[in-house]
Amino acid sequence: MPTYDPEPFRIKVVEPIKLISPDKRRTAIANAGYNVFTLRAEDIFIDLLTDSGTGAMSHHQWAALMEGDESYAGARSYFELKKAVEDIFGFKHFVPTHQGRAAENIIAAVLVKHGNHIPSNMHFDTTDANIRARGGRPVNLVIEEAFDPANPHPFKGNMDIEKLQAFIEQTGPQNIPMGMITITNNAGGGQPVSMENIKAVATLYHSYGIPFFIDAARYAENAYFIKLREPGYANHTPIEIAREMFSCADGFCMSAKKDAIVNIGGLLALNDDVTFQRISNELILREGFVSYGGLAGRDLSAMAVGLYEGLDEDYLAYRLNQTAYLAGLIREQGIGLIEPPGGHAIYVDAGSLLPHIPHAEFPGQVLAVEMYLEGGIRTCEIGSVMFAHPHPDTGEIIYPKLELVRLAIPRRVYTQSHLSYVAETLGKIAQRAKKLKGYRFTYAPELLRHFTARFEPI
């Protein structure tokens, strides 16, 4: 019987949740155009849509909120955050942003020109879209093992170094204004990147004079995976590993809504003085002054505390054990998932569960809708709805290799029995999988279409 060590916290504040009736769930999802993003949160029992901004803050963070300094410029809260950012990440300059995509927008506005290419292991959807919105081309060069859901490779988020080198040679470094890597690799299953790979990527980018930026949303989980899995790091603390990872890079953008365990916030940091000047100007235009970047002072204070809490070893052990527990229950029922389980989420292989539904009829979307109908659980499709796109030259639709449904686990929010219920619900759907049918769009915007698309059953 899988289980995990007790949560290293006790619950001080509770929020009721309710499972509405199957009839009401049917009406709710139909009214939402079969898009779980459009559901009312009140109609959801267990919300695994995302681990972003959905964590439970600690009493220290709530206390920090109360002490937030709301001065327009130079607030005490800004300096608290600055101290934490310098201590953990070590870059010369930083700005707060209201969330990760704002940091991406700003770095893309400053560095990406029409026709530029930006390689990464895998870009997350907002990073991908922000590069495309500036006329650039995001390029994903993760190792091949990432596309084999059963492969137990310990660092499936690693970049394919040979492919990266060939890509830079072919494209020309002058057309690559920055190179990236995402830790952990959300779009590829929340899989970690090894320290060895981060260093090799950094060396390669730098040998061509390309600045190296990390998409650091889940930096703490990545650091803990390195501790657990990479030889030589067992006796290092997560903060030491984080410092070593970031010492290889020229900058990073980050959604603080994940490992910094805040409900809103982001960061952009770098060493280059000239680029920082341009970033500051762009930030003031779009987000706010450099010392608050679109956030309230209290948000900066809560982030300063959360950056350290996310690196706490007891917390990280519990966090990764909780994910592994849910994975164990799903695996036991013979349902395919990306192995080994990632840090923040389980990625169920909807393609193998629903082999009779083609990419164009969205097997991941089918499973996401069924999770809601069966158990009031909200999940997120990470497949053709999110990533299929026309080839920029030929117009042919390019489908992603995997059709996944992500069960993202909010930090410090759900208990072991919630997760058991999630696994049982999935098991019930698996038993009637053969009877399920696909969906087609009734509306789809050009960029980031999964957020607002509407569907109808085929």
Contact 119, 153 (CB under 8 A): no
Q: Using CB under 6 A, list all residues that contact ligand PLP.
A: 52, 99-101, 124, 126-127, 182, 186, 215, 217, 255, 257, 266
Cβ at position 125, least distance to ligand PLP in Å: 8
**Cα separation of 79 and 54, whole Å?**
25
**Cα separation of 353 and 338, whole Å?**
13
User: Nearer to ligand PLP by C-beta: 102 or 176?
Assistant: 102
Of the residues 128, 215, 250, 349, only one is catalytic, namely 215
Of the residues 125, 250, 299, 349, only one is catalytic, namely 125
72 is catalytic: yes
User: Nearer to ligand PLP by C-beta: 224 or 421?
Assistant: 224
User: Nearer to ligand PLP by C-beta: 149 or 190?
Assistant: 190
Task: List strand residue ranges (DSSP E) for 66-107, in order.
Answer: 93-97
Of the residues 64, 103, 108, 217, only one is catalytic, namely 217
Contact 187, 382 (CB under 8 A): yes
Of the residues 160, 246, 450, 455, only one is catalytic, namely 450
User: Nearer to ligand PLP by C-beta: 61 or 120?
Assistant: 120
Contact 399, 358 (CB under 8 A): no
Taking CA atoms, 85 is separated from 234, 247, 251, 254, 309, in Å, by: 24, 13, 12, 11, 13
Of the residues 108, 258, 259, 350, only one is catalytic, namely 258
Identify residue 164 by its one-letter amino acid code.
Answer: L
Residue bearing tokens 């002058």: 174
Taking CA atoms, 209 is separated from 47, 63, 165, 173, 175, in Å, by: 44, 44, 13, 8, 11
Residue nearest to ligand PLP (CB): 100
206 is catalytic: no
Cβ at position 103, least distance to ligand PLP in Å: 8
From 240, 236, 175, 188, select the one nearest 215 (Cα to Cα).
188
CA 354 to chain centre: 25
125 is catalytic: yes
Cβ at position 445, least distance to ligand PLP in Å: 17
Report phi then psi at 434, rounded to 5.
Answer: -60, -25
User: Nearer to ligand PLP by C-beta: 33 or 189?
Assistant: 189
Cβ at position 99, least distance to ligand PLP in Å: 3
Q: Rg (Cα) of the chain, in Å, rounded?
A: 21
User: Nearer to ligand PLP by C-beta: 238 or 266?
Assistant: 266
Task: Give the CA diameter of the chain.
Answer: 60
Cβ at position 408, least distance to ligand PLP in Å: 9
User: Nearer to ligand PLP by C-beta: 412 or 450?
Assistant: 450
Contacts of 371 (CB under 8 A, 6+ apart): 377, 378, 379, 405, 425, 426, 429
450 is catalytic: yes
Determine which helix (DSSP H) or strand (DSSP E) holds 18, and give its type and residue range.
none
215 is catalytic: yes
Report phi then psi at 340, rounded to 5.
Answer: -70, 160
Which amino acids are annotated catalytic? Answer: 72, 124-125, 215, 217, 258, 450
